[in-house]
Structure 1
Amino acid sequence: MSHAPHHAASGIYLISPSGAVADPKRVELACARLTKLGFKTAVDRAALAVHERFAGTDRQRLAGIARALKQKLPIVMATRGGYGLGRLLPFIDWQAVADSGKIFIGHSDFTVFHLALLARTGASSFAGPTAVFDFGSPTMDDLTADLFAESMRGELEILSFETTDADAVDARGILWGGNLAMVCSLVGTPYLPKVKGGILFLEDVCEHPFRVERMLTQLWQAGVLQRQKAIVLGHFSDYRLASHDNGFDMPSVVRWLRASVKVPVVTGLPFGHVKMKATLPVGRKVGIATEKGMAHLVLEEHF
């Protein structure tokens, strides 16, 4: 089962299934910007709730997800990531989520929602901007907004991006992945999709390269990485190196990844905890091809 975007997908319902929203004005700003893009918006009544570091208690956040399935707007967007969705996974009716036909979008902690939905039902969703981090930021990246709108309306067929370090590849497979730490958190659970011959995309934030390598090692030794046709790396941002790293940095990790896993690796995907990010269909079959200095993700094609 897959959820294809609809040309009539012109309304967005905002929920907060993870961390608490620190500044409600950023949600207001997000709604204003989404309205200018042509989307009606509605905010769940518990979206601004606060309980400890979370956007409400577990029960409140689960109720917000349930309300999102019943309301009329076709797109459901997370206000933000943070932490908290993982502890809700066993209590979500995944078949009801799939049967709702809603288009879910978010990133960061929302990665576990994407992957659990795919694992439990085969339904697709979208990794992309959130209300607070993207549409509610003081300055909005125009290309992020345009790519989001085109994706929601089914108008984005090919995503091309520059890459300075890509292996030769021309493959088709299920696109899946997201935040690396969140992907690793699902290993050994029923919420990690068993994708063979897929195209795995990964990103992370505030993780030193050795921690990135450690998480990649876990996915490799769990048998996940070597089952893919390609590994596509987005941004690994906001980390600090130490003097004793002695030159060890993300390029070292990528070299190790290639040598160990022997699956084509493509870098430069415009996705991660950065202002400019693409909107990517998680759980749908896509194509990927590289040429000198460029990579192309074919998002809409008759396979």
Structure 2
Amino acid sequence: MTAPRILELIAPSGYPDNSNVVQLALQRLAEQGLQIEGEPVTQRRYQRFAGTDGERAADLNRLADPARRLPDIVLAVRGGYGAVRVLHGLDYEGLQRRLQEQPVALVGHSDFTAIQLALLARAGLTTFAGPMLTSDFGAPVLSAFTQEHFWTALTQPVFALTVTAPQIQSADVTGTLWGGNLAMLAALVGTPYMPPVKGGILFLEDINEQPFRLERMIYQLHLAGILEQQQALVLGDFSGSRTFDYDNGYDLYAMIAQVRSLVGIPVFTGLPFGHIPDKVTLPMGAKAHLMANTHGFTLTLSGHPTLA
């Protein structure tokens, strides 16, 4: 009899405020044959965080302990805020020794991006930008699209994502796929937790940010010299982005047009990733081949950890 895959929960940011959602998510994951560990992290509270900084850092540092059995999947409970507070407390050398070349999938998005970027920068670890416990597996309706792409990314050593959406630029490039939440990338500029990726394919998403705020953060990446070192910029979803009368026609489309005129690399839109029900799972730090034309683009991904 095959042993069940082990999924360990970590809570590096905010705490879940609805126990019914947590229980629904745990039930769904168990029905997929997963053995859940770390459930107590969903019950911790410290101010607006899922535990003290030390407790939340310890969730990850336990993965560096050679005396512990490694889980197959490490899943973030939720985002919010708090990950940046634990970056200095992570055991990067220990995590690198234990996890490099191991088929362990660390998965999350939003605020979890800060930890993913730090692990890539300081330990060279590839993680997965993908669903989280409460917002995705605990959603009122569990997305079949999200589930399919989650398991494909975690089990297939090579897989492709095809996006059918009109583009105004083309590309045929290969590089490291990296990125995530735009606010988190902007916050880490100039710190030792920003990966020094050159020739990469950068993807971005965010939530509840007005177009001018998105542009300002992209300008920060541009002025820091990060964008000019990439081969392409791929934009995901910017859900909750609203315009007001004062914007006078300046919307997401105007923002993207300004970015295209600025960055000097191809910019593509329509990646189904972000704070949305139907999202793909993307291996951060993996090798990516991007082929794009006026009809859409395809990302072929390889070199990431895959579950047995």
Please say if residues 16 and 48 of structure 1, whose CA atoms lie closer than 8 Å, have aligned partners that are also in contact: no
Match of 1:98 in 2: 96
* Cα RMSD, aligned residues only: 1.8
Who is 2:226 aligned against? 224
Q: Distance in 2 between matches of 1:262 and 1:78?
A: 35
Which residue does the alignment assign to 1:152? Answer: 154
Worse-superposed segment, 160-169 or 14-23 = 160-169
Cα deviation digits, residues 61-104 of structure 1 (max 9, x gap) = 12222234434322101010000010110110012222332321
**Counterpart in the other structure of 1:12:** 7
TM-score scaled by length of structure 2 = 0.91
The answer (yes or no) to whether the contact 2:9–2:41 under 8 Å persists in 1 is no
Match of 2:87 in 1: 89
CA contact (8 A) 2:4 2:33 kept: no
1:73 corresponds in structure 2 to 71
Judge which range, 287-296 or 260-269, deviates more.
287-296
| Aligned-residue offset at 1:44 | 4.2
Find the partner of 2:167 among 147, 162, 165.
165
Please name the residue that 1:204 is paired with: 206
Q: CA deviation at 1:233?
A: 0.1
User: What letter corresponds to residue 75 of structure 1 in structure 2?
Assistant: I
Distance 2:175 2:96 in 1: 21
Matches within 5 A, 1:103-182: 103-154=105-156, 157-182=159-184
State the one-letter code of the partner of 1:59.
G
Q: Which residue type is aligned with residue 30 of structure 2?
A: T
Identify the residue that residue 266 of structure 1 maps to in structure 2. Answer: 268
Give 1:238 deviation, angstroms. 0.6
CA displacement at 1:147 relative to structure 2: 0.8
- Say whether the 8 Å CA contact 1:68–1:76 is kept in structure 2: no
Partner of 1:21: 16
TM-score (ref. length: structure 1): 0.93
* Structure 2: gaps spanning 5 or more residues: none
- Measured after TM superposition, the shift of residue 29 of structure 1 is 1.4
Q: 1:192 corresponds to which residue? A: 194
Shift, 1:39, TM fit: 2.5
The one-letter amino acid paired with 1:161 is V
Q: How many residues align?
A: 295
User: Unpaired runs of 5+ in structure 1?
Assistant: 1-7
**Alignment-derived partner of residue 298 in structure 2:** 296
Deviation at 1:21, TM superposition (A): 1.0
The one-letter code sitting in structure 2 at the alignment partner of 1:22 is: D
Aligned equivalents of 2:122 and 2:185: distance in 1? 15
The CA deviation at 1:45 is 2.7
